[in-house]
Amino acid sequence: MKNVILLTLDAIRKDVLGVYGSTKGLSPFIDSLGDESLIFTKGQTTGPYTQASFPGILTSSYYLDYGKPRGLAPERTLISEPLQKAGIVTAGFHSNPYCSDYLGWNRGWDVFYDSMEDEVEPRIPYIRGDIINTKVSNWLELQVKGGNRAFFLWLHYMDVHEPYMPERKYVDMVDPSLTLSEDEMYDLFENTLLKRDVSDPAKVELLKRLYEIHVREIDTYTKEFFGFLEKLGILKDCVVIITNDHGDEFNEHGGISHDYKMYSELIEPPLLIYGTEQSGEVDKLVSSVDIAPTIIHLFGLEPVPAFKGHSLLPLEDYPEKGAFSEAFDQRSQRGGDIEKDIYCYREKDLKIIYHANLDKWEMYDLKEDQKEQNNIVDTSSAAEELKKRLQPMVRRWVK
Amino acid sequence: MKVTEQERAELKPEVDKLVEKSKEVIRDTFSKYKIEDMAITWTGGKDSTLTLWIIRQVCLEDKIQIPKAMTIDEFDVFQEIHDFMEKYTKEWNLDLEWCRNDDVVKAAGGKLNNIVKVKDLDERNQAELKRIGFEEDSFPFEAESYTGNHLMKTVEFNKYIERRNVKAIFQGLRRDEQSARIQDDYYEKKEAAHLIPEHMRIKPILHFSERQVWKAYKVYGIPYCALYEQGYRSLGAKTTSAIAEPGVPAWEQDLEHTTERAGRRQDKEQMMGRLRKLGYM
């Protein structure tokens, strides 16, 4: 039995990776995995930000299944729980406060590092990927020495996430001519990004540049991590799933960062499965709720009834189905305003979006209109059918 | 704490082995640093008291002077802890310094939950707030809030290291205390940074579980603060520590299946602080 590793890259957009067509050369290592990976070209996360998407990835359930969330609902099943019960070693290493011990994400892990006890740099409130790697490699070494039990490892890098303040060495790898000081970078974060001010295209462009430099940075961490696996002689015994929790916007739809929107720059993830001896592009529509069932399948365990997704493997058994996402406004009031909610449903290349508080619909044909600029909800003959599919999910917790 | 001779004899081999490892770490540190460059943190809690006790044992065995000790007075201290520490400072002949951020206490008018205006603080405290990204004009004076914890504990700790020129400091941290510490090493080097002096942190009881800590108290009859008899498991500031099981001494509780730090508020504050800085709040 192989070990399974889930590598999630916070805030990374699919279109910045060479393996998905970017020509900027920001991800040479991840791209090099392409030949030995299944590359899913049509995927959807369960939401456009961490809180909305990780329930999909790690619990195969949807963000608002239990109404307005206050930490991880006890009803949800974390992927670590059935695995631990089955005798598989479970370990998680990350630095995202939204998946912290405090919010209930520590269930079922033999080792759970969420960094919340560690000091962080004042302006960068998370532990960088190189430190995460050190912790993971220490653990891996013990794990390999300690015997022959299979393991599931979840590893998450935060580094692409704002405030976009890359270290000089990564700046030099991507754009040595860029001479912004740390203070200038932080100023862009505080006064442009945090204010969602897109009035100056040059500033938005600069933020995107800094973001891209971080992509190069986590590609380096990914390479280093694979290096550990190789050095320990276990790479051949591992399946590695690489994906994101959400993307980031740079004024494609009037904003920056990742707010409650349902466009592809935010909810279309990269999704690679490396090490199954299968490779090539897969154009079936898949969802992040399918990841946990896939992990269960890879360990040869019985499907978990609580999981709402379907195993991606074997590919030929994967059913044709729609993908659902939802979110609400997290910024307008403390704890978020669930009255400003948004829902999204996709089938094949058609996507429909519903703003519940405005009773407003949008619809896009992603084959013809990849940038989602042309709302066809009033003209498409498929609109009524898609609305019908989405409607039961809208405010389903209101009885 | 009631222990029978039989129980003590049964526990002794396991505990001896654990303490031996701690002594090894302590002796190794003693061989690398001068006594005057070292210090011991002591909170009066079970972990730091055990650490201090083992260090003292090493000093007695090797006939050397025990390094100086420091404790942080967060202004919200249990009288029981204070009395316990006073008693053993005398009995064990310790050089103990009580460190308190008096500037914050003064700005709060000497009362918990009063609002502290940032402009009333001295330059250092203002710089420290800036360092942790706190940008509001005021905050309530609570020892274990995000800002309070930083000013009352972290800052006082760093100031002490600087003032006393400490190169190596012993701490009573345990690996099993939080899952986050699972990877910790006995030696943790802190690099110098803005407002942080370089120093080495040494954690001699890192490998003890909570259960084993109490076993050590039983085997060696180490003194402990009476609050543990009332059911406290983890002692922090007075207003933010809660009794885990009323009337059940800590060592008789179900330590393996419940949380040690229940009732401590710092974790939430820490999380909120980071989310704020990520631009989420």
Q: What is the full DSSP assignment across A142-167?
A: HHHHT-S--EEEEEEE-TTSTT----
Q: Which residues of B fall within a CB distance of 8 Å from A161?
A: 278
ipTM over 0.90: no
Residue A259, pLDDT score = 95
Residue B263: pLDDT band (50, 70, 90) is: very low
The residues facing A37 across adjacent strands are A274
- B192: contact with A, CB 8 A cutoff: no
- B259: contact with A, CB 8 A cutoff: no
Classify domain A327-393 at the CATH class level: alpha beta
Classify domain A3-321 at the CATH class level: alpha beta
Residue B250, pLDDT score = 85
Q: Which residue of A has its CA nearest to B132?
A: A122
Residue tagged 């996709």 (tokens): A346
CB pairs under 8 A between A and B: 71
Say if residues B175 and B181 touch (Cβ distance below 8 Å): yes
* Statement: residue B258 has pLDDT above 80: no
Tens-digit pLDDT profile for residues A23-58 = 999 999 999 999 999 999 999 999 999 999 999 999
- A173: contact with B, CB 8 A cutoff: no
The SS3 of residue A276 is: coil
Average pLDDT over residues B58-63: 96
More confident residue, A384 or A71: A384
Residue B144: pLDDT band (50, 70, 90) is: low
Do the chains contact at A113 and B182, CB–CB below 8 Å? yes
Q: Which residues of B fall within a CB distance of 8 Å from A334?
A: 281
Do the chains contact at A125 and B277, CB–CB below 8 Å? yes
Residue B270, pLDDT score = 74
CA distance A165 to B278: 12
Do the chains contact at B279 and A135, CB–CB below 8 Å? no
Query: Which of A117, A125, A126 is the closest to B180 by Cβ?
Result: A117
**What are the residue boundaries of the structural domains of chain A, listed by start?**
3-321, 327-393
- B257: contact with A, CB 8 A cutoff: no
- A341: contact with B, CB 8 A cutoff: no
Query: Which of A118, A162, A163 is the closest to B180 by Cβ?
Result: A118
Burial B142-179 (b: 16+ CB within 10 A, else e): bbbbbbbbbbbbbbbbbbbbeebebbbbbbbbbbbbbb
- A105: contact with B, CB 8 A cutoff: no
* Statement: residue B261 has pLDDT above 50: yes
Do the chains contact at A163 and B132, CB–CB below 8 Å? no
* Statement: residue B244 has pLDDT above 90: no
Tens-digit pLDDT profile for residues A190-208 = 999 999 999 999 999 999 9
Closest CA to A117 of B177, B19, B233, B75: B177
The residues facing B232 across adjacent strands are B243
Residue A245, pLDDT score = 98
Cα angle for residues A47, A49, A51 (degrees, 5° grid): 85
* Statement: residue B243 has pLDDT above 80: no
Residue tagged 């963000």 (tokens): A63
Which pair of tokens denotes residue A307?
Answer: 């999981």
Q: Which residues of A fall within a CB distance of 8 Å from B277?
A: 123, 125, 163
Query: What distances in angstroms separate CA A302 from CA A59, A296, B145, one per listed residue?
Result: 16, 7, 45
Q: Which residues contact A296 (CB under 8 A, 6 or more apart)?
A: A79, A82, A83, A302, A303, A304, A307, A311
Query: Which of A102, A117, A125 is the closest to B268 by Cβ?
Result: A102
Lowest-pLDDT range, A108-117, B181-190, B193-202?
B181-190
Q: Which domain holds residue B218?
A: 5-277
Residue A69, pLDDT score = 84
Do the chains contact at A163 and B275, CB–CB below 8 Å? no
Average pLDDT over residues B10-38: 96
Decide whether A3-321 matches A327-393 in CATH topology: no
Q: Which residues contact A293 (CB under 8 A, 6 or more apart)?
A: A60, A303, A304, A307, A309, A310, A311, A312
Do the chains contact at B180 and A101, CB–CB below 8 Å? yes
Q: What is the CATH number of the domain that holds B243?
A: 3.40.50.620
Residue B239: pLDDT band (50, 70, 90) is: low
